[in-house]
Amino acid sequence: MGKQYDLIIIGAGPGGYVAAKKAAKLGMSVVIVDKGDVGGTCINRGCIPTKALIYTASLYRDMKECGKFGLFAKEVGFDLQKIFEYKDLSAARMREDLEREFDELGITFVRGMAAIQSDRQVRVAKDGGETVYLAGRYILIATGAKARTVDIPGMDLPGVMTSEELLTSNKSGYRSLLILGGGVIGIELATVFNALGGKVTIVEVSDRLLPNMDREFSDALEEILTNRGIEIHKESILEEITKKDCGLRCRYVCHGKNQKTDVDAVLVSVGRTANTEGLFDPDVPIRTERGRIVVDDFFATNIPGIYAVGDVVGQVQLAHVASAQATYVVERMNDVPASVIVEMVPSCLFVPISIVPSCLYTDPEIASVGLTEEEARRKGVPVRCGRYVMDGNGQSIISKEERGVIKILFAADSDVILGAQLLCSRATDMIGELATAIANGLTSAQLMYAMRAHPTYNEAISCAVENSR
């Protein structure tokens, strides 16, 4: 029998490390196992590296366009190697902070491949060949997801990669890039390479970018990206990638017509799939569905004492959702009242709505929470919509923003806020206020009680609320 812990956590990403810290603070003995670095995909190969590149690319674009503010900068350029060093240093700083917290809280970190055995035992194959065994009162699985690939000829060619491979590659000076998939990851990386002077083509099978987003915002984003020189082909299917001179030739069908383009590299960004490979011994009867671990409303699996959270259960695949779920599970383990929720049923409805903010770190940023107008119609929920175009917002005028709009939805009868969508600078920061409002069932009148400072982007929320009344 292995060394005994109160809680064994498999996966050191946002679900795992948040669970570890919460459990340790509640007095549990905790060990966390991961085959890679502390921080998981989010810190090392996902959110943090991507946002670091977005920030850098945005600064570069601002410097090139600073003439609109009466400023002039000669010989503006960039060193791609140093940009990627900055990206790596940002991730390293977060890893170091996490490792320090683990030490302070007495959390044990084991690097290796974990396999769950019967009776809540875990076998860990460490780097170098050593095998260690752990035993836990509880096991929490937070192994996340990995990039999904597609079965297309040429997918194994050099230069065809997923976002994780792109973000960890030393070679990234691509003059031209085709991105398969018009979702969040693909669009964010498209803006980076476009801002740094690359030719970017997006091939998306759906009839719009970001299919789950409010159509007005999806269309506005498409117009902004197109105006910046990004080619977007919707309702298109990539059929083949072949080697061409020093690059790649991509053949795709767009609206029934054969098209082709030559690029330096292809980024495959078509979603993510649960990461469970090798996680269970053959005699462990874990229940899965389409590769995802099946859990109940309390994130318990079919095996007593084993829980799973985050992308591996295949619900909303966002880092902050995994963290919230992990916090909830650990609190239940310790009979502590829940401090987080991810959805709720407003008093005026009979259906639950998500209070999980969804954010896109483009320029301008996009953020949403709760229902969109389209979802409200599908659910048969009568709503009032308050809308404000940011053209008259003082801060938008000062910073010469290209475009911006805020929409806030309220129940037509009870006046309770049901959703919000923002396309503007600082949208990802501002969405928290509206998520809080939904979680607390606030009305438009209650939202107007609070003053919002002037001049700020945030004061536009008051304008959108006022427009709904």
Question: What's the CATH number for 353-468?
Answer: 3.30.390.30
Q: What sign for the dihedral angle of Cα 125, 128, 130, 133?
A: negative
Do 381 and 443 touch, CB atoms closer than 8 A? no
DSSP helix, strand, coil percent of the chain (3-state; round to 5): 35, 30, 35
One digit per residue, the tens of pLDDT, for the chain of length 469 reads 678 999 999 999 999 999 999 999 999 999 999 999 999 999 999 999 999 999 999 999 999 999 999 999 888 999 989 999 999 999 999 999 999 999 999 999 999 999 999 989 999 999 888 999 999 999 999 999 999 989 999 999 999 999 999 888 867 678 999 999 999 999 999 999 999 999 999 999 999 999 888 899 999 999 999 999 999 999 999 999 999 888 999 999 998 899 999 999 999 999 999 999 999 999 999 999 988 999 999 999 999 999 999 999 988 889 999 999 999 999 999 999 988 888 888 877 777 888 999 999 998 999 999 999 999 999 899 999 999 999 999 999 999 998 899 999 999 999 999 999 999 999 999 999 999 999 999 999 999 999 999 999 999 999 999 999 8
**Where in the chain are the domains?**
3-146+273-333, 160-270, 353-468
To the query of whether residue 255 is one of the catalytic residues in this protein, the response is no
CA-wise closest residue to 84 among 146, 166, 180, 184:
166
Same fold, 3-146+273-333 and 160-270: yes
Say how far apart CA 142 and CA 311 lie, in whole Å.
8
* Given 233, 255, 320, 454, the catalytic residue: 454
Give the strand pairing for 292-293 and 231-233.
unpaired
Question: What's the CATH number for 3-146+273-333?
Answer: 3.50.50.60
CA distances from 341 to 300, 320, 324, 414 (A): 16, 11, 7, 22
Q: Omega before 455 cis (within 30°)? A: yes
Q: Is the pTM of this model over 0.75?
A: yes
Do 254 and 168 touch, CB atoms closer than 8 A? no
160-270 is a CATH 3.50.50.60 domain: yes
Q: Residue 395 corresponds to which tokens in the numbers above?
A: 């801060």
